[in-house]
Chain A
Amino acid sequence: MKIRLYNDLFLLVIWMGILLNMLTGDNILENGLCETSVEIKNADGLHMRPAMQFVDIANQFQADISVSNNENTVDGKSIMQMSMLAATCGTKLKITAQGSDAEQAVQALKVLVEEKLFDEPPPGDKEK
């Protein structure tokens, strides 16, 4: 009985951890694997220069980084593959990293995409 309670408690802790992660947006699935969802918010989308910024940051990390839309999963460190995603404004992408610095990598990329907007204006500003 006691053993079962510990077991349940253990699961609870894990679940809480996952829940916590979901709230922050990062998703640490297991050791060294980290995943997050981002949305392209700058008006011009993930064209050449943003793709370059993305891979430049991705390449600063040890972790393997992949990015997927609904159809394809590509290497987040390859400008060719990233630009071929041709993600327009409003596209949702999933960033997955695996490796010792996976969490930091995912964080940094999320900041670039959703907070810095690749140093570009959002759609509203563009219209003005």
Chain B
Amino acid sequence: MEIKKGIAVSPGIAIAKCLTIDAEDYRIPRRSINPSQRIIEIQRLRNAFADAIDELTQLQTEHQALEKQKIKDILAVHLRYLHDRSLRKKITDIIQTELVTAEYAVSTTMRDIASNFAKVPDSYISERATDIYDIERRLLKQLLGSKREDIETLTKEVVIVARELSPTQTAAFNKEFIKGLATDAGGRTSHTAIVARSLGIPAVVALEDLTELISGGDTVIIDGNRGIVIANPDIETIRQYEQYSQEFERLGHRLDTIRKKPAVTRDAVKITLLGNIEFPDEAEMVLQKGGDGIGLYRTEFLYLNRPDEPSENDHYNAYAETVKVFEHRPVIIRTMDLGADKYTQNKRFVREPNPFLGLRSIRFCLQNLMMFKMQLHAILRASVLGEVKIMFPLITNAQELMQAKMILRDVMEDLDEESIPYNRDIDIGIMIETPSAALTASTLARDVDFFSIGTNDLTQYTLAVDRGNELVSTLYSSADPAVLRLIRTVIQDAHKAQIDLSICGEMASEPEYIMLLLGMGARSLSLAPPMIPEIKQIIRSVTIEDCNALVRKVLAMNSERQISSYLRDAARKVLPEAF
């Protein structure tokens, strides 16, 4: 049993045998097989050789009429290679002894031969390596092509595991039988994520080396709620997940009915439920799930998955598309939160020794004014289309906030000069996600229209824990008394200053924290769209009185473990199906 953690990009649970697919132009990853699968892989190899020979023979007859002796020679050489028994034996031996897929065995053998040529100083011979790559491609085309056919003609349920999925590959999917997707690469905005959400199947991306741990036919669990993929799970794990999956589905059906109902507590307190989105096509889902607007519009997607810088128009179009969906409901656009975990692969940014404490987010924007101003220009332009608000992330002191607001005023002046209309009274807010901002919330509140507490970063910075680091990740918990005290301080300071406040971190998507957040005074939550119905159900089942009592109890506790289990018990009583 192998458990891998990635990024959950589409919710749900899938348990099925997996089908691994590779891109035809990509390096074939080393992928292990079970000893029992050797016969299958060797047969696949044999078929690939036979099909490649057929294809070449066909080509040869087509070229027979041609006078081009060179082409004929090349085809003849390739055919001799495909008929070469010692080549076939070499590849078969690799499958037999190293227990790898036919694709990998072909790829590694051919590359080995090619590198042998490349070493020869005589250029005429060393160039022959290209012939070998050609032959490799011919064989891989057969092996991978037959898999593509597999995808088109599936007859039983599978989950797809790949390094990365291309639009051509996903277009060929037989949607009826594909139950989930998992990829090594990708992010929230990758093609895989978009496809999975549109199909309504679970997906987890950024699993790094998953394809190397998994081979075709393995049983795989894809948990799109928690961002976990389990390869070859044991019987007990499968049983647990089957149960979890059934409950999740049942809950989904039941929650369908409450989408249209308001998010009010039993003692008639209205709670605003907003959606966190990453790109425009998710806006529709927020509405469908019964959200009241967008509480966090992440804009980093404009910079990821593309080789060039987005233009001001790219920004504007993305914002306009989203704002139009919501008309008179709020859309809070967060300025670029690049750096640290995001965008780090890009070579333009010099690797920092400690990126989470480095040049990220608003700090990065304040040092890259062209980029920052362009985004603010686009946001202001879109501000006439609906109720747009601007939010600055990772503010650590009043100075940064002043700078950001000054730049915003500059951009407003630019727009005045260009005679472009915009909302002069646009709401400006900040994310409270550092302990310094939380502790000085009362001062910061004087200069903004709203706060949004980013509980993920606030927890990480307060507890000094990198939750991506498995050596310390167990120390990461938003239920830690220190984190809770900071959150409570911020909520109280916002109330005193009479500014809006919402919670936009993962805490707001987790059922066990809802009563706590309401009890501490939060009246607006921004969360992952698929979670909106479930959280609404909790809100509709509790009274603020209950929540206040719970907070009094929790704030008297001094251990994270005690608080966590108390919160879980309380939530289980309210919505047993969610656990």
Contacts and interface: CB of A to CB of B under 8 A. Distances in A.
Contacts of B86: 75, 78, 80-81
A86 B117 contact: yes
B116 to A, nearest CB: 5
Interface string B222-256: 00000000000000000000000000000000000
B307 to A, nearest CB: 37
A80 B124 contact: no
User: Which residue of B74, B80, B87 has the most chain A CB atoms within 10 A of its CB atom?
Assistant: B80
A89 B84 CA distance: 25
A37 interface: no
Interface residues of B, number: 22
A78 B128 contact: no
A83 B128 contact: yes
B85 A88 contact: no
Contacts of A83: 117, 128
Contacts of A75: 86
Size band of the interface chain A makes with B: 20 to 34
Contacts, number: 55
User: Which residue of A46, A55, A80 has the most chain B CB atoms within 10 A of its CB atom?
Assistant: A80
B80 to A, nearest CB: 4
Nearest to B89: A78
B136 interface: no
A119 to B, nearest CB: 11
Contacts of B87: 78, 80
B76 interface: yes
A63 B486 CA distance: 86
Contacts of B117: 83-84, 86
B40 interface: no
Interface residues of A: mostly helix, strand, loop or mixed? Answer: helix
Nearest to A79: B80
Contact of A79 (B81, B119, B124, B125): B81
A116 interface: no
Nearest to B124: A44
B122 interface: yes
B284 interface: no
A47 to B, nearest CB: 5
Contacts of A55: 80
B120 A86 contact: yes
Given A49-B77, A52-B80, A84 B113 contact: yes
Interface in A64-96: 75, 78-81, 83-84, 86, 88-89
Nearest to A78: B86
Interface of A: 44-49, 51-52, 55-56, 75, 78-81, 83-84, 86, 88-89
Interface of B: 73-74, 76-77, 80-81, 84-87, 90, 113, 116-117, 119-122, 124-125, 128, 131
8 contacts: A44-B124, A52-B77, A78-B87, A80-B84, A86-B119, A86-B122, A88-B121, A88-B125
Given A52-B76, A89-B122, 18 more contacts: A47-B124, A47-B125, A48-B74, A52-B77, A78-B85, A79-B77, A79-B84, A80-B86, A80-B87, A80-B90, A80-B113, A83-B128, A84-B113, A84-B117, A86-B117, A86-B125, A88-B120, A88-B122
